[in-house]
Amino acid sequence: MTSAALTVGSALVAFGPLISIFFMVLYPKAQLVIIVTTAAFFFLLSGVGASIVWWLFALVQLDGVVAVLLPGVLAQFMGRCSFVALYHRVEKVIRLSLEEEDARANGSVRQHNSTTDQDLAEYDENWTAAAKLRLQLNDASCGVAAGIGFGGMHAIMLYGSLLASEAGNAGVLYQDSCPMIPSLAQSAVVALCYSVMDIFWMLLTFFGMRRRLLYHRGREFEDNIRGFGAYMGNSRSGGNLALLFVLISHLGSSVVTTLTSLDGGCVVSLPLLVVLTLVTGYTFWAGTARIYMPPENSNESISRTASRISAAAAGDVTDDSDPVTHYRAE
């Protein structure tokens, strides 16, 4: 019978990091929990799209590695991009509503110089909450949350059924491709690598889609520096490069996993998959670490906005201009 230690240990390897990040970082923030669940739903949508394509391929008797891998990779890529595009639309609505409320509040302060201390306290409290909301909804935190949702659902679909079926079996399952490692342990490592890469892929998708959005209307960052490793930059081409890397690295990792169909293939596929995970993480850090957050999400911009709001509450507002407004995508 499959031992409890093997079952629990394999489950912790596959899901432990995602569960830890979710409860320690994301769970206290309701906005991020919504992003997690929405991203998981988008993974399911991408799976439905890939399944439809596979069904059509089966009807015309089109099989082979390419016919199996490409629909899944492309469907997940489109799922990530569609989720980020939806996030940008929601972000725009939230930003516009906050700016309209800010304008109405500032106008009220100017017209009523005799505002009471109680009114100012309520105004300050409301806009402190708005500033906190803005701080939580930035590309970094939302990218991690979306990656947890997308990667968590990916890991469940990839590994959950095997874990559930093997938990009560009378023996331990081994595969010809990996006769020295139980299938539970082997698949747990694969699920872990994919879930970690899903986080980095989602973060890179946020980076790429944001640069494409900002550059779409002729807006480019004032300091168009390149990333630490000179892979990507604050431009439309840098965004395209990030998205291209997501697509190629996902396709490469999928090709690597097909090696498990060979006898003893896990000896090659598992180390290569771990290497690809490390390369994906390094590429994200080296290519985007210094330039990941757009100006409107930066701590400096948030502090400037908070200072302007405080000045408005005190009735000392002379200039409502925002130095980073021209970087925003209207």
Q: Domain for residue 101, yes or no?
A: yes
Cα–Cα distance between 276 and 271 in angstroms, integer?
A: 9
| Backbone φ and ψ of 103, nearest 5° | -65, -40
Q: Domain for residue 320, yes or no?
A: no
- Contacts by 74-77, CB closer than 8 A, 24 or more apart: 74/50, 74/247, 75/46, 75/47, 75/49, 75/50, 76/43, 76/46, 76/50, 76/150, 76/154, 76/250, 77/243, 77/246, 77/247, 77/250
Region 117-123: mean pLDDT is 46
Q: What is the pLDDT of residues 28-44, one digit of tens each?
A: 888 899 999 999 999 99
Three-class secondary structure of residue 2 per DSSP: coil
Q: Domain for residue 124, yes or no?
A: yes
More confident residue, 242 or 5: 242
- The mean pLDDT of the chain is 77
Cα–Cα distance between 50 and 57 in angstroms, integer?
A: 11
Q: Which residues contact 225 (CB under 8 A, 6 or more apart)?
A: 233, 234, 290, 291
Q: What is the pLDDT of residues 132-145, one digit of tens each?
A: 455 567 888 899 99
More confident residue, 208 or 163: 208
Are 327 and 223 in contact, with CB atoms under 8 Å apart? no
- CA–centroid distance for 314 within its chain: 39
pLDDT at 317: 45
Are 210 and 189 in contact, with CB atoms under 8 Å apart? no
61 φψ region: left (φ > 0), alpha (ψ -120 to 50), beta (else): left
- Number of structural domains (the chain) is 1
Both tokens of residue 178?
A: 């990996």
Residue with tokens 């550059």, as numbered in its chain: 215
Cα–Cα distance between 171 and 305 in angstroms, integer?
A: 62
Are 10 and 184 in contact, with CB atoms under 8 Å apart? yes
Q: Domain for residue 106, yes or no?
A: yes
Find, among 71, 46, 45, the residue nearest to 58 by Cα.
71
Q: Domain for residue 184, yes or no?
A: yes
Indicate if the pLDDT at residue 249 is higher than 80: yes
Q: Domain for residue 328, yes or no?
A: no
123 φψ region: left (φ > 0), alpha (ψ -120 to 50), beta (else): alpha
Q: Domain for residue 151, yes or no?
A: yes
Helix axis angle for 65-111 and 183-216, nearest 10°, is 50
Which residue range forms the structural domain that includes residue 104? 4-314
Q: What is the pLDDT of residues 181-229, one digit of tens each?
A: 888 888 899 999 999 999 999 999 999 999 888 765 544 444 444 444 4
Residue with tokens 């060979």, as numbered in its chain: 262
pLDDT band at 120 (very low <50, low <70, confident <90, very high): very low
Does this model's pTM top 0.85? My answer is: no
Region 110-122: mean pLDDT is 48
Q: Read off the amino acid at residue 62.
A: L
Question: Please, which residues bridge with residue 175 across strands?
Answer: 178
Q: Domain for residue 45, yes or no?
A: yes
Cα–Cα distance between 257 and 260 in angstroms, integer?
A: 6
Q: Which residues contact 127 (CB under 8 A, 6 or more apart)?
A: 102, 105, 306, 309, 313
Residue with tokens 């399952």, as numbered in its chain: 173
Q: What is the pLDDT of residues 267-314, one digit of tens each?
A: 888 999 999 999 999 999 988 888 887 755 554 444 444 455 445 545
DSSP percent split of the chain into helix, strand, coil, nearest 5? 75, 0, 20
Cα–Cα distance between 39 and 28 in angstroms, integer?
A: 18
